Structure formats: C-alpha cells, structure tokens
Chain A
Amino acid sequence: MKGGWLVEGRASGPALVLDEPLSFWGGLDPATGKIVEANHPQRGVVVNGRMLVMPSGRGSSSSATVLAEAIRLGTGPAGIVLGEPDHIIAIGALVAAELYGIAIPVFVASPDGYATIRDGDQVSLVP
C-alpha cells in the first residue's frame, strides 16, 4: 500500500476501521482499551490487538499521553493506520518507544489505499 510512516515498525492484526476520528483523551479508556467517547459510533469496542484505522486524529492534545499510557499497559492497538498525518498520535507512540521500548507503528495511507481497508481485514505493516 502507498503511504508514509509516522512511526516505522512491524505489526499485524484485524483492522478496526473507525467511522469517525477518535480523540484518545476522553475517548479511550487506557485501563481497558475500550472506546468510551459518548458520541462515537463505535463506543464500547476494544482497540487492543487491532490495527486501528481512522481518517484523522481529533480533539485534545492530551491524547498523546493517553496513547502512551495505553501502550505501557498493553491495552493499545497493535498499530495505527491514518488517512492523514497526526502529530499528536505520532509523539505518543514515539515516547512510548523511548520509555518502554514498545514500538507501535503509525502509518499514513494514501486515499486510494485507505479506502480499500474493510473492518476485520487482516492488515500487516512492514517497514
């Protein structure tokens, strides 16, 4: 698939394609890995082990810490595929790699590539 890396790495898992962007802060419970944002169409879904696919980031700049905390606790996604670059998500993943040595790759897919991913598809990221 065409695109670019925000954080390079290797991961695979079933795609969790979000219908709307998710703010990790206020939207993801790092203790459980569950989506808790009240208005989110996929509220209640667990991101753990999934390849999280979403069009863009959203909302609070605290999302970086929440992502790093979820990665520390092992409740985060296996990898993240975005429709457009998001620096808040990138720094959260980079700091988790610095502090804990756990690498969660973050990839920005081209619009064509992004559109082909269906929920539940097996997705692999390979550098």
Chain B
Amino acid sequence: MTSEATAVELTADDRARLNGERGEGAALAMRLVVKMAEVARAPRLRDVTGAHIDSCLYHGQAGLDFAERLLACGASVTVPATLNVSSLDLLHPELVRLDEETRTRASRLMDSYVAMGCRPTWTCAPYQLPDRPGSGEHVAWAESNAIVFANSVLGARTNRYGDFIDICAAITGRVPDSGLHTDDGRRATLLLRLGGVSDELLDTEVLYPVLGHLLGRRAGSRVTAIEGLPPNTSEDRLKALGAAAASSGAVALFHVVGVTPESPTRESVGADTAREIVVTLADLRAARDELSRVPDGAEIGAVSVGTPHASGSELRRLAALVRDERPRVPFYVNTGRAQLAAVGSVAEDLADAGVTVVTDTCTYIAPILHDIAAPVMTDSGKWAWYAPSNLGFDVALGSLEECVRSAAAGRVIRDARLWEVG
C-alpha cells in the first residue's frame, strides 16, 4: 500500500501521522484511513468526536493479529472510544461455553483494545450510555445496529464503519469526509409509506422488528424515509427497527419523518422526489413469516431477548412481567453492564424469577444456549435473522409480553388478530 500519490487533501497533522511522527501505530492507522478515503472518493478527512469499536469481538486470528500489531507499534486512541460486545461475559464467565484456547484469544483481544485506551463498556448499544453523541455530531461508529441508531434516532453522523477502520478512526481522530458525514449523502432516495396499517398494529411492539426486516430487504444500502410512524415512537422500538434493517440489509440511516432530528418533513430530507414504496399489511405479514417460521402453539425450548442490549426501561418492563408469569423454559436477557448497574435491584428481581442476565456479550454470538432441542423465541428481528445460521435454531418472533407468556406456557402464544385485517 502506498500513500505518496493520494488525491485526498491532507492537513499537516494528517501528514505527520502518515509519516510516522506519532509512531508506527498511528502511521498504520492513518494509512488505512487515507486508503478508505480513496475508496470513498472523499476529497479530505474530517474530525470525529468519538468512536465505537466493534473489532474487540473475536472472529479469528486475523482480528487479534491486527490489534496486537497496532499495540506493538505503540498506538492509542486520541478520541473517547467505547467498546462493543465481546465473545465473553466477564461478569458471568460461566455462561459462555468456549474452549480454553478461544477464550484466551478472545480475552487477549479485549485486553489489547483496553490497552489502547478504549473504555470497557462491552455493549452493542452505546446510545444507551449517558454521554451519547448529539444531533449533528460526527462520530466513527461500528456495529450495524449502533450505526443506524446514531444516524436515524440521535441525528449524529457516522458512516457504516466496520472492523479495523473503527480503531484506526479512534487512533487518528479522523475519517473520510464522505457519505453520511455530508448533507448530500443523507438525502433519502427511497420513500417507504405505510398504507392501510391500523393504528392498533402501529402500536404493537412486534411491528417494529418486522418493519425493519422489510426495510432492509427493500432498501439494501439506500437512505430511506419512512412516513406513517407515530411521532412518539419510542427509542426501544426504533432500536428494534434499525437493528433488523441493518441485518437483512446494509441500512445505515433511515429518516422517520417527524421523529429523526433532521427530518421534520419529507421535503427536508429530499424524499419528495424519491421513489415511493407503499407497504401494506400483506407485505408486513410476509416479512414476519420470513423471520418467524415457528407456528403458534409450537413447543419452545428457550427465550432470548435483548438484542440489541436491553435498555433500562426494557429491563424494568421484563422484571415486572416475569413477576407475574415465571418462565418454565430457560429465559435469557442480554444487556450492557452499565445499563444493568443503572437499574439497581431489577437485576435481583430478574434472577429471582429465573431469568438469566447476560452482559458484555450476546446469546447470538457466544455459545450460551445449550441442550435446547426445541425452537427459541425472541423479540428481536436481528436475533431471528442471525440465530438460524449462527446457532441452528428455528425461531419464533413475538413481543416482549408474548415472549414472557410463551416462556410460562412452554409454547408459542401470540396475538395473531392484528395481522389478519387491515
């Protein structure tokens, strides 16, 4: 790789990094940032105020080789950086059944990122932490659900950063000035309008992961404006929508007209001239059936909720629900250690009711569910998308309430009524 002949306009500071004046690690990071700017045809780089790092999740030797190379070259972060979920639950290590060698490597990877100055937050929902970015703030976030939430709900600006480039951005504090960092890149090219969907269904929790799944399928990587969602749609519902959309598609930004900070009207995001798709009840039903292949009444072997990590309000809701209806099958909730600490005694309420709380990682990326022969139920479109290939489970999708009711009965119980008529 060469950087001499780059067309990207660099500052004196950028050049100093590139030339190794801030150490070999910073030079390697800068080389990759400049290369990515060339890929993106960015005219220049721009500052970011923070980063969220996904590279701390162990996927094999290559990730560890890269982190240890950076560390050996003396690299450290120059902007605040949070860390995504890892392969281990450090608070409940017994939950994750990994062989010793993988555990050691995963742990070395995590240590490398902390040693580079990243905060050991171990959550895929950094937007649930108190110091999240504000509207118009430029950040370099990785983790597909966090990216889409930052752009679509917070109105912050990040491209779809991936492993490797996330830490390079944190080390240099610089990213290519392109794509979703620019006004032009954030204009909608697709308008998705909900047609003939009842207010009652719009107020149903499970609509949101289903709509997200459909969005991912239809939008691919395009910026989409969604019209017809209630203006008071909660962050938890938008989280579920975005996470599903960023799983079945490469969605990094959707404008919910009337909700996303920069999207008060369809005209404000250029969606008045975008191609329009009307989403009907039949489309939503088809999307639901693609994600949820287990029929009502079927036996379930476990329930997993909290993908992305459960928020404080979701943890409290779950604790209240299981107080009345105790699960008969193993019931897991994934959350971040900070989110869990913030809800105080709710953690004990959950444990008393027989719910297993998983922190720092997630049941769909770490070997936690075991000896389960029957299908698994979840409230997450993202979990429903990845679990069949990652874990080999058949999946039923339902709301948090339906998950709790089903766990108490040992079989899928859902309210099918709302999906039947328009």
Contacts and interface: CB of A to CB of B under 8 A. Distances in A.
A72 B181 CA distance: 32
Contact of B162 (A27, A62, A84): A62
A119 interface: no
Interface residues of A, number: 42
Contact of A99 (B66, B144, B389): B66
Interface stretch (A11-19, A32-40, A45-53, A110-118): A32-40
A87 interface: yes
Contacts of B144: 59-61
A94 interface: yes
A56 B147 CA distance: 18
Contacts of A95: 32, 62, 66, 164
Given A39-B290, A99-B69, A21 B163 contact: no
| Majority SS at the chain B contact face | helix
Interface in A58-74: 58-66, 68-69, 71-73
A97 B32 CA distance: 11
A84 B54 contact: no
Contacts of A68: 62-63, 66, 164
B3 interface: no
Contact of B40 (A84, A87, A92, A98): A87
B160 interface: yes
A87 B69 CA distance: 22
A38 B246 contact: no
A57 interface: yes
A61 B163 contact: yes
Nearest to A68: B62
Interface in A70-123: 71-73, 84-88, 90-92, 94-99
B250 A56 contact: yes
A21 B220 contact: yes
Query: Which of B35, B63, B162 has the largest count of A CB atoms less than 10 A from its CB?
Result: B162
Nearest to A61: B162
B390 interface: yes
Closest CB pairs A-B (n = 6) = A69-B60, A88-B162, A61-B162, A38-B388, A68-B62, A64-B163
Interface of B: 1, 28, 32, 35-36, 39-40, 54-55, 57, 59-63, 65-66, 69, 142-144, 147, 159-166, 220-221, 246-250, 290, 385-386, 388-390
19 contacts: A25-B59, A26-B390, A37-B389, A56-B220, A56-B221, A58-B248, A58-B249, A61-B142, A61-B143, A63-B163, A68-B164, A71-B62, A86-B250, A88-B162, A90-B36, A91-B32, A98-B1, A99-B65, A99-B66
Interface of A: 6, 21, 23, 25-27, 30, 36-39, 55-66, 68-69, 71-73, 84-88, 90-92, 94-99
